[in-house]
Structure 1
Amino acid sequence: MIKATKTDYPLVIQILSSAFRDNQSVNYIVRQDQNCDKRIENLIAYSIKVCAKFGEIFLSDDQKACALILYPDRKKTTVQSLFWDINLIATCTGIKNVQRTIDREAKIKQRHPDSPFVHLWYIGVSAADQGKGIGTKLLDQILNWADSHNRPVYLETSTESNIPFYRKAGFKIFDQLDLSYRLYFLCNKHAQNSMETDSLSSRSDINQSDRIQSSPVSSATASSATASSAIVSSTIAESTITKSAIAESN
């Protein structure tokens, strides 16, 4: 795969707007009227700007498939991004869809981890080249690339027929959201391993807390340790004051 440049953006818009024209998740936020196709193109153009600033844009080597990658931990609100958002409302969603778009994005964010990850925002193959393994190859390359950067991969899909495609690549459904359609949340093996580690860590913390609370000896030890810590802190503070006084007197 290759990183797309500005000269590739029209091709990326063409591939993704065609691939997502009938997508439920896209049409949930795009104003539905006679200009719907153009509005979807505007949505993809907006997404390209965001990913160019806060992520990556990839093309397959044969330029028949592409993907938009976002790093949520790097995404920031700037004057420029606010302008993009306002333009998106005017050219894509319309005023009426703003609130439900915001509500949906908030619910999606709640299901994402706090730690850094790769958000596979869009991946699509040109209509004439679907079913040839091009999308599978690009997805595999993205997963390898994400692993090399030690980042798990998360994505959402509203197309149930795509779920076997993602499962074959090692993704697993970990949540879902019911809107006027069903949105599935998936993560790759790297993320699943992280979830298992976090779960084990949480259980360990809970068990440790239970042991401390249920054991008088442990409680006494903990209290003693706290007192010792306070004494050490006090000693350190006194040393600091003494050094400061010496410095001033010199």
Structure 2
Amino acid sequence: MTENVSYNFTYPSYPKFVNDVYGTFTKSWGKLDAVDKTPLGWFHIVKQYGQVSWNDVYYVIFLALLWTALRYTVTSYILKPIAMASNLGSRETVKAPESAWKLLVYSCTWSYSIYILFFTKNNYFYDAPSTFYGWKSGSEVPNEIYLAYILQFSFYIHSVYGTLFVDAWRKDSIVMLAHHVVTMLLIGFSYAFRFTNVGILILYLHDITDILLEGTKLAVYYKTKGGRWYTACDTLSTCGFVLFG
């Protein structure tokens, strides 16, 4: 168990951070037994130190189904009619509701992360090392962070389904699938091993990039409406590409 104490912490430069992470990883990897470096060993580590209940599984499955139903409702009755009324091109009329849905969800999850980090007792944004204070295997996850986790994990389960069966297939769809799977693994393992305090900080930083990405896509789709060119949307899309890059 880690003692709940504070200490002086100097934020490293990027080169030092990379060097320290690499050095710590290689040192720790070298101390592992041969079996611990295999998938079977990883499974035993997860089984021994990870903690996930059946209730967690049930909640996630239910919410994944709820996300799917909510997407169908919002897209069919709000987002698609807006796209059609905007006189977009045929391809843009299909793609715009997808980006609008994702922009809406990421804006909500990011706003909730803001609430957790800036409007509760959690001080993780201003004191990042405190995310590890009091850590122990199997510790209880605060309700507000638990809610963020099951919402995010269930949304990415829905997103895998959405990419395969709902969204228009794109050149980067395989990359998006890989992104969703990796994100689910990171969320799942950080929950199982109770690294949820630092996890909510990472989700806060992660979601803002998706807001920027989907907002930029929408600006691209809305550059031309009814055969007219809209300079404002072109400027927004250019700024979005620069910021995202």
TM-score normalised by length of structure 2: 0.24
Structure whose CA Rg is larger:
1
Larger strand proportion of the pair: 1
Report 1 or 2 for greater relative contact order, CA contacts < 8 Å, sequence distance ≥ 6.
2
Return the TM-score normalized by structure 1. 0.23
